[in-house]
Amino acid sequence: MQVPPGVVVAATAGTAPGPFRARPTSAGRSAESRSARDCAGAALAMLGQRSTDIPTGEGGQPVWPTGFVGSLSHCPGFTIAAVGRVGVASAIGIDVEVHRPVRPAVAATIVCGSEASMLARLASCHPPVAWSAVLWSVKESVFKAWYPLTGRWVDYTACEVVIHPDRGSFDARVVVPAGRTARSTTPRTFAGRWSVVGTHLCSVVIVPASRG
Ligand SMILES: CC(C)(COP(=O)(O)OP(=O)(O)OC[C@H]1O[C@@H](n2cnc3c(N)ncnc32)[C@H](O)[C@@H]1OP(=O)(O)O)[C@@H](O)C(=O)NCCC(=O)NCCS
């Protein structure tokens, strides 16, 4: 996945995903979380940062060493971290998911605007891709970039996404009532990349420093 200079992505790919587990065990999630932090440590080291302590903030967000922003994601068989210097990025969101369709009942709860028709169109033109999972992942990447900038929760249905299938990119718009963001300058539109990587898919949003 292409990222600008000053941003490093590090990942570990393990075993292929096993049978679907609606609720992963907490021990499994903890091991994944540690692995994602190891990835983050490697990325920070590549950026010349020795301190790699990454505690968790009140909203669940990772708290990065001064001078850095970043994002973590982990799921069975894949953990990933993206880290950048604050002069390059004001926020980063990254997400990895197993590449399989989101259950229709769940997918129905995350779509908004014209996304349902977009998913139908994408499925008929590019059937091998689990587009519902791409949409899900993109929204979570956007959230992980949005939250550290605003400290605000956003529901899946308050983020409208347009997926560009041939470019491996997307545009997203967060729709929240006026006055509900921390600052009027907070970005509402986000552009990013997605890709299928073997048995998984990944998406990433990098908010340029000048926009934060
Ligand atoms: C928080 C959330 C995005 C995490 O995604 P997930 O697929 O469940 O889990 P992932 O493995 O991909 O990511 C987990 C990591 O996200 C990060 N994270 C958690 N809360 C976060 C927040 N508020 N802001 C930024 N990053 C956050 C953490 O680093 C966490 O890993 P850790 O607990 O090991 O430190 C998701 O659970 C959620 O609650 N989403 C609802 C809000 C949303 O996505 N809205 C979309 C419209 S913008």
User: Across residues 23-48, what is the average pLDDT?
Assistant: 88
Q: What is the pLDDT of residue 91?
A: 97
Residue nearest to atom 28 of ligand 1 (CA): 61
The answer, as to whether pTM is greater than 0.85, is yes
Who has greater pLDDT, 21 or 130? 130
Q: Which atom of ligand 1 is nearest to the CA of 29?
A: 34
- Residue 58 CB neighbours (<10 A): 7
Which of the 8 DSSP states describes residue 196?
A: E
Tokens matching residue 116: 């349902």
Q: Tell me, using a 6 A CB cutoff, whether residue 62 lines ligand 1.
A: yes
C-alpha 59 to ligand 1 mean position (Å): 9
Per-residue pLDDT at 162 exceeds 70: yes
Q: Tell me, using a 6 A CB cutoff, whether residue 140 lines ligand 1.
A: yes
Q: What is the pLDDT of residue 179?
A: 60
The DSSP secondary structure of 95-158, one letter per residue, reads EEEESSPPPHHHHTTT--TTHHHHHHHHHHH-TTS-HHHHHHHHHHHHHHHHHHHH-----GGG
Residue 60 parent element (H or E): none
Q: Tell me, using a 6 A CB cutoff, whether residue 56 lines ligand 1.
A: yes
C-alpha 125 to ligand 1 mean position (Å): 30
Tokens matching residue 112: 């908004």
C-alpha 48 to ligand 1 mean position (Å): 26
Cα Rg of the chain, angstroms: 17
Q: What is the pLDDT of residue 5?
A: 86
Give the model confidence (pLDDT) of 78-134 as tens digits. Answer: 999 999 999 999 999 999 999 999 999 999 999 999 999 999 999 999 999 999 999
Q: Tell me, using a 6 A CB cutoff, whether residue 76 lines ligand 1.
A: no
Per-residue pLDDT at 210 exceeds 60: yes
Helices (H), ranges, 17-82: 26-46
Q: What's the CA gap between 158 and 163, in Å, rounded?
A: 16
Domains of the chain (ranges; CATH) run 7-211 (3.90.470.20)
The residue type at 99: H
Percent of the chain with pLDDT over 90: 77
Q: What's the CA gap between 115 and 108, in Å, rounded?
A: 10
C-alpha 140 to ligand 1 mean position (Å): 7
Given pLDDT bands bounded at 50, 70 and 90, which one contains residue 25?
low
- Interior CA angle at 13 toward 199 and 100, to 5°? 20
Per-residue pLDDT at 20 exceeds 60: no
Q: What is the pLDDT of residue 184?
A: 61
Q: What is the pLDDT of residue 104?
A: 93
- CB of 55 closer than 8 Å to CB of 63: yes
C-alpha 17 to ligand 1 mean position (Å): 20
Give the model confidence (pLDDT) of 189-208 as tens digits. Answer: 999 999 999 999 999 999 99
Q: Tell me, using a 6 A CB cutoff, whether residue 174 lines ligand 1.
A: yes
